[in-house]
Amino acid sequence: MLEFSRVGYRFPGGDGVADLTFAVRPGEVVALIGLNGAGKTTLMRLGLGMLRAQRGEVRLFGHPLNRMPTESWARVGVLIETPLAYPELSVVENLRIASLLHHGSPGQPDQAMETWQLSALSRRRVRRLSLGNKQRVGLAAAMQHDPSLIILDEPTNALDPASVILLREQLLDRAENGAAVLVSSHHLDEVARIADRVLLINAGRLIGELDTTGPDLERTFFDRIRIDDDNRRLAEETV
């Protein structure tokens, strides 16, 4: 569904990502974890063509991004950083627009509001919603059209525990029905519950997978980051 092959991108200040190589397959949930500034959002933007890779290649549904058929984008569901919504429009109006953009059916917005427990807020303007409710609107818009590929950046931000469980159930259900899911998160315990693979990113590089079966997931994560930082410093000192 989504494939990175030695992808690199550098911002003018020097930060960025390098040599990203991995794939997300149908029916698989892949979690991406790292410290703030590690490159998670940059990776996702590259995967969606929001940034153009300076090196390597990104392929979506088997096509290089620059040759992807336009209609194939309707098969993607996305929430990057903040929910994409028109603040002066109501919840239902936003969902209807999102459905139209993805060639969805007329009944999708109503079903999405029921699924994400937004029906009571359907006529409320998005700008008047709490952060958690805005996030649920963004998730509903991203997934109501039953996308083949779902890319979510920190989707549990501002969600209450009940909504986190609902999101977990939705992602597992979509994966069981063949969707590919790429999700970034700093909630290690949560991603351990849903992810088939947990990829570690540090200083713009993928440094391996995290074993989620151990007793202290957080300690394991920070130990891997510390070891990678030490190895990088040693390499820089010997150059």
81 or 202, greater pLDDT: 202
Beta-strand runs (E) in the chain: 2-10, 16-24, 29-33, 55-60, 63-64, 76-79, 149-153, 180-184, 197-202, 205-209
Local structure of residue 72 (DSSP, 8 states): G
- pLDDT interval class at 239 (50, 70, 90): low
Domain count, the chain: 1
Give residue 174's domain range.
2-238
Whether the per-residue pLDDT at 214 is higher than 80: the answer is: no
Q: What is the pLDDT of residues 50-79, one digit of tens each?
A: 999 999 999 999 999 988 888 889 999 999
> What is the CATH number for 212?
3.40.50.300
The rounded distance, in Å, linking the Cα atoms of 167 and 173 is 10
* pTM of structure: 0.91
Rounded to the nearest 5 degrees, what angle is found at the Cα of 52, between the Cα atoms of 50 and 55?
Answer: 145
